Structure 1
Amino acid sequence: MEITLDNPPSAPQPLSPYYSQVARVQLSDGSALLYLSGQIAEGATVTDQSRAVFETIAALLAAHGATLADIINIRTYLTDITKLHEYGAVRTRFLPGTPPTSMTMEVPKLFQPQAMVEVEVVAAVPARG
């Protein structure tokens, strides 16, 4: 098993030098697990921020040969749980079909004061044949 920590240049860069955005765990069968750090984004509404977050997640996954369809687990943090329906509508557009396992939690605040939503995911990338 090999672990690589990465900040792909093709995706938005982290907001702080204190973390890596992607941990790639390469498995012996050629498949991999991708662990993405929590992603936040700018925007005036939860809908705007959620859309930007999923676009960043898509870019991070693409840098490692994965897509949003490879997500197997998602964790969401909202500063206002009453906005769950707004976040959910965006999430459904980006993740149609059978949803991954998930957890959603209301928190008092996030890393940046203006952030209303933070999303972290785990993706399983099949071996390339």
Structure 2
Amino acid sequence: MSALSANLVIADPAARSRLLDAIRFDARGLVPCIAQQHDTGEVLMMAWMNREAAEETLATGRVCYFSRSRGGLWRKGETSGQQQRLVDLRLDCDGDTLLALVDQTGVACHTGRRSCFYLAPRDGQLAEIAAPEIAPEALYGR
């Protein structure tokens, strides 16, 4: 991985608009975004962004997604404190998938694990390969 560390913020609205115009959002106005820890390469999660979420992410440097279940913006860490600071944002060759290189505070998964990718086939069964680092109740006050 590269030695990126600065928080990526694009303050100029015209520059943000040009970048957003390059993204091929699907028929629902969404694009998948993979979040990866910038310094280790660990894949943390996949979520969706709409244009508004991508624009807010670029404007603030704090990652924002679109929650399909809630039908609105989801500012990562807003309720749990487990924020993602944007280090770099990359667009794939087809323009239809984003890779957000982030600096993750705490855990990324709502289950209390560092990564959402904690299930893997082992001995013919699906097994948990990572234990929660924090109880979900502690993250969300349930």
Both structures adopt the same fold (TM-score exceeding 0.5): no
Give me the TM-score of the superposition, normalised by structure 2.
Answer: 0.24
Between structure 1 and structure 2, the one with the greater Rg is 2
Give me the TM-score of the superposition, normalised by structure 1.
Answer: 0.26
